[in-house]
A and B are shown apart, each in its own frame.
Chain A
Amino acid sequence: MTEAPVNSVKTAAQYILPPSLVSKIDLSRLVTEVERVDNELTAAEVRAKGNGGKAAQPVLSQQLVDFLQANDTSLSDGQTRMELIKQLRQLKDKAPVIHMTFAVTADVASLQYIAQWLRQEIDPQAVVAVGLQPGLVAGVYVRTPNHVHDFSLRGHLAAQREVLAKELGALRGNR
């Protein structure tokens, strides 16, 4: 984490979210972790100044490491950390959320793949709110701020119900 300390000031909209940060909860954890790391590093710097030694490095999560690498930034500078915390809070509040309800429990790899696709195709800072609804059978139920997109098998069958009813009607007419 201490490598590539390019501490340029970025706005919240300029931050890149790595695939490991999928949901808004991940962002909240990231903010909390950055705050913790900031506290630990500040305390360590204070201790280091008093002891004349080198400050101890805190342990970082993989999500934070990925975020720092994706955004080419570091947490070594206290001012940078403060700014990062501020921007991450804004990002957490303003990141566009896409609610996705699956028929089965989504594994991490699949969620990361979907999050990556959303950020490439829809919005670079999009996050996913995951839900579970076995009644969907298969597919996904996507809810954006103003629309609902039913890509589930159940929705597909419901949409095709008229066709089935029409077929039954045609069968009755043949009799």
Chain B
Amino acid sequence: MGLFQNKHAGKPGKSPIVDVFENEKNFFDESFREEIKTHAREYFEDVIQKNVVIFKQDLDAAVAEIKADLKTQTSEKLDKAIAEVNANLREHTTRRLDEQFEAYGKEVKTAQAQTIESLTRTAGGLEDSYKQLSQKLEQSVEGQAAVFAGAAKENSDRIAVMKQSQDAALDLLNKSAQALQEQHQALRTMLQKNIVDQENMILSAFQDNMAQIVEHYLLGAMGDQFDMKAQLPSIIKQMEENKQAIADDMKL
């Protein structure tokens, strides 16, 4: 794509000047102008783009510098303003404080004066009350002392009576304990005797019952073992042994 790609070749047989004019006409035709416009536009755009970048860089640098300067100046002005404000504020505050302190001092003095006056009056009242209370307290102490003395005497009498009662009770308790011990000993002796008697009685009953049990067992075991013929010799023998007694009884 060249700059002259749309160019038409010259017609043969014509003169060069005519050809040049014709060519010039043909050379600066619409298409060529358009191409030149395009080319120029692109060129300007490129230049503009480059200039924009450069301008942007310059602008950034200028902005940065302006920022720095502005910051510096602002700081200085702000410091100055602050210093000035501080000075004004300190002065104003000092003046206000002095005024307040002065008013406060006056008020404190007034209050102190009133307080001292009130304390003076209160001290007088307290002194009177103290005197009255002292008198009442003395009277009360005297009354309490009398009451305590009476109570102490009554308590002393009661303690003496109580001690006598305690002694009597202790004596009675000792006697009761001794009597109880004697009764316990007698009861123990009697209980042991009863236990021995009971044991002997139970054992005797056991022996008797045991004899009856053995006898019952023998009777039950031997009851059917004898018939009359088997018993007859024993019967005759026993009657023979008691013959004389039987005969004597029959003669009576």
Q: Is the Cβ of B231 less than 8 Å from the Cβ of A103?
A: yes
Residue-by-residue, is B196-218 near A (CB-CB < 8 Å gives 1, otherwise 0)?
Answer: 00000001001110111011001
When the two chains form the complex, which single residue of A104, A122, A153, A154 contacts B247, counting CB atoms closer than 8 Å?
A122
Q: Is the Cβ of B211 less than 8 Å from the Cβ of A165?
A: yes
Given contacts A104-B226, A117-B239, A161-B211, contact A126 B232 (CB under 8 A): no
Residue-by-residue, is A155-175 near B (CB-CB < 8 Å gives 1, otherwise 0)?
Answer: 001100100110011001000
CA distance A172 to B210 in the complex (A): 13
Q: Which DSSP category, helix, strand, loop or mixed, fits chain A's interface? A: mixed
Is A96 part of the contact surface with B, judged by Cβ < 8 Å? yes
Measured CB to CB, the nearest residue on chain B to A126 is B250
When the two chains form the complex, which single residue of A104, A123, A138, A168 contacts B211, counting CB atoms closer than 8 Å?
A168
Q: Which DSSP category, helix, strand, loop or mixed, fits chain B's interface? A: helix
When distances are taken between beta carbons in the complex, the residues of chain B under 8 Å from A142 are 239, 242, 246
Measured CB to CB, the nearest residue on chain A to B213 is A164
Q: Is the Cβ of B250 less than 8 Å from the Cβ of A168?
A: no
When distances are taken between beta carbons in the complex, the residues of chain A under 8 Å from B228 are 102, 104-107, 110
When distances are taken between beta carbons in the complex, the residues of chain B under 8 Å from A157 are 215, 218-219
Is A14 part of the contact surface with B, judged by Cβ < 8 Å? no
Binding site for A on B (CB under 8 A): 203, 206-208, 210-212, 214-215, 218-219, 222-223, 225-229, 231-232, 234-236, 238-240, 242-243, 245-247, 249-250, 252
